[in-house]
């Protein structure tokens, strides 16, 4: 099934349907916590998503909670255990 191009959408369609075609780049600022750490680490990333910022936040949350790294001092694999959203801003939009 292919999606119609934005040019073929009738003017009378609802705003919700139009937002479906809008693409935005969101800057997501967040904090994450690692296994065995009490400190929150600040981070930020840019994400391409539709007109709903929640989609962008969900993408970042899923990717962040999957992150792991090997601690150089102990040799143990550390895992991201928590995600805290700080700020969402729109950097660019098209559509």
More confident of the two residues 39 and 1? 39
Q: What is the rounded CA–CA span in Å between residue 60 and residue 83? A: 9
CATH of the domain at 48: 3.10.20
Residue 7 confidence (pLDDT) above 80: no
Segment 40-81, tens digit of pLDDT = 999 999 999 988 899 999 999 999 999 999 888 888 999 999
Segment 13-35, tens digit of pLDDT = 555 555 557 899 999 999 999 99
* pTM for this prediction: 0.73
pLDDT score of 45: 97
In a domain, 90, yes or no: yes
Other Cβ atoms within 10 Å of 72 Cβ, number: 6
In a domain, 76, yes or no: yes
Domain that holds residue 86: 14-94
- The dihedral built from the CA positions of residue 9, 11, 17 and 19, taken in this order, carries a sign that is positive
Q: For the chain, what is the domain count?
A: 1
In a domain, 9, yes or no: no
Q: What is the rounded CA–CA span in Å between residue 49 and residue 28? A: 12
Residue that has been written with the tokens 């750490």 in this structure: 37
In a domain, 18, yes or no: yes
């Amino acid at each position: 099934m292919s999606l119609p191009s934005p040019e073929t959408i009738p003017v009378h369609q609802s705003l919700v349907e139009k937002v479906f075609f809008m693409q935005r780049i969101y800057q997501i600022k967040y904090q994450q916590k690692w296994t065995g750490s009490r400190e929150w680490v600040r981070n930020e990333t840019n994400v391409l998503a539709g007109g709903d910022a929640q989609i962008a936040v969900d993408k970042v949350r899923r990717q962040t909670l999957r992150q792991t790294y090997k601690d150089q001092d102990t040799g143990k694999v550390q895992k991201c255990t928590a995600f805290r959203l700080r700020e969402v801003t729109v950097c660019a939009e098209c559509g």
